[in-house]
Chains A and B, each alone.
Chain A
Amino acid sequence: MNTTISVPKEENSTLDGIQKVMYAKNDQGEFDRYRYGSSVEEFATKIAIEEYELLKQECLEHIKQGISSPIEYFMYENRMDLPTLSCAVGMFQFRVKRHLRMHIFQKMSDGLLTKYADAFNIILQDLKDFR
């Protein structure tokens, strides 16, 4: 049985210099907390972040083609998915989903758009003028 816990000391750039701690045994065989860095964790985090970047790039294409609305772009920019965004603005998912389409977006009132702008922490004009 492998009962030694090794503490990885790898680089993890996603943590911006901080190190998290984990439990491992000291020389006396007692548990203690140790700072560690894991490249496995780093990779997993990077993939999650990259996925949002990819979604953003695809969304920009769709905005150009007049399919997607800026709301979809800012949803990814804020690392949200549909359920998270729908909770953030307090509307049903099917309604938010409609707002992700360009031709619906163009007909939305300022009041409604402000709800989104607030959720994204931007001003209304940034949302309306987004290209």
Chain B
Amino acid sequence: MSQKPPFEHSQFAHCESGVVSTLLSAYGLKISEPMAFGLTSALTFVYLPFVKVNNLPLIAYRSLPKSIINTISKVLHVKMERKNYPNPRAANEDLKNLVTKENKMVGLQTSVFYLPYFPKDMRFHFNAHNLLVYGVDGEDYLISDPVFEEAVRCSEAELSKARFAKGVFAPKGFLYYPKTIPQNIDFTPIIKKAIVKNAKAMLTPFPFAGIKGMRRLAKKIESLENSEANSRYIKNYLTHIVRMQEEIGTGGGGFRFLYAAFLEEAQKYELNKAILEEASKLIIHSGNTLREFALYCVEGSRKIEKLDTKKIAAKLIEASEYEEKAFRLLKKL
């Protein structure tokens, strides 16, 4: 039997980058969460008014689910085993084999709603939550879930439900782990490419993404006041934005701070330090501004009669300005 990979459960700001960080580190490639996030150009902003979730528009502050897993293997040339399964029986058989016989640690995609160890209030139908399975004990799987302070456990039946939840981003039992990891990776050009790619994505002319997307959402918020929308809808709308910003995996403009941490770490490589430093500051500033924006959204829904949509929209525009400056700088890296 091969040696179990050295592994330590840690808590992370974001599930997918956290899982990728722990997984690669356990298989011998030490990589921090900010690095996993930054190398995969995962920072974004998307506002799609025509795609509805619970009758509210789709808003995202980070890239699509699974994109960190897919992109990291592409940019680092890590061979990832990626599997879907037709049914829970096949999925569990394979998972048990991998974890007990081959002593592997594997990543899984799950739905938060069916994971019993999550607090009731956190359980929504979000199908792209990532976690790690590192062992079996009796009927339970031993799990390292990046949202939790300690390792947790979950029965096979309940984990199967979570892995085979239906709907948008249905996981279909998705399981992954690295097969081969290249030696002596030269990070400098990879980091540079990832940053420039992220900058281009944030500065895209596509009106529903990046800086433009932020401004479009700001406009929409401003128009809420004069629309026929009732106060219940406005309340749901504003808190929905906050939940997409803060709740799904991370906190308080958390993705911005995560990216800023990546830009700091990138300074250890031979890249233009001045640009990275300045951009990191701007992104932190944007993160702080987004946090104020979230606070305004919540205050506005708390006292709907005092709602000032202009003030809320202006905050979002302010954040978009810092991000524009930051990414214009980074594009020239």
Name A's B-contacting residues (CB within 8 A).
1-3, 5, 8, 13-16, 18-24, 30-31, 33, 35-36, 38, 40-41, 43-49, 51, 54, 78-81, 83-84, 87-88, 90
Contact = CB atoms under 8 A, between A and B. Distances in A.
B311 interface: no
A48 B261 contact: no
Classify the interface of chain A: helix, strand, loop or mixed. mixed
B285 A3 contact: yes
Contact of B285 (A1, A54, A87): A1
Interface residues of B, number: 58
A18 B250 contact: no
Contacts of A3: 281, 284-285, 288
B12 A21 contact: yes
Contact of B236 (A5, A13, A23, A47): A47
Contact of A81 (B54, B148, B295, B298): B54
A23 B261 contact: yes
B171 interface: no
B242 to A, nearest CB: 4
Interface of B: 11-13, 33-34, 52-55, 113, 119-125, 147-149, 165-168, 170, 232, 235-236, 239-240, 242-243, 246-247, 250-252, 254, 257-258, 260-261, 264-265, 281-282, 284-285, 287-289, 291, 294-295, 297-298, 301-302
Classify the interface of chain B: helix, strand, loop or mixed. helix
A23 B260 contact: yes
B117 to A, nearest CB: 10
A24 B258 CA distance: 9
A2 B288 contact: yes
14 contacts: A2-B289, A13-B121, A18-B147, A18-B149, A36-B252, A40-B298, A41-B246, A41-B252, A44-B239, A45-B121, A45-B243, A46-B121, A84-B125, A84-B166
Which among B13, B251, B258, B284 has the highest number of chain A CB atoms within 10 Å?
B251
A36 B13 CA distance: 11
Contacts of B121: 13-16, 45-46, 49
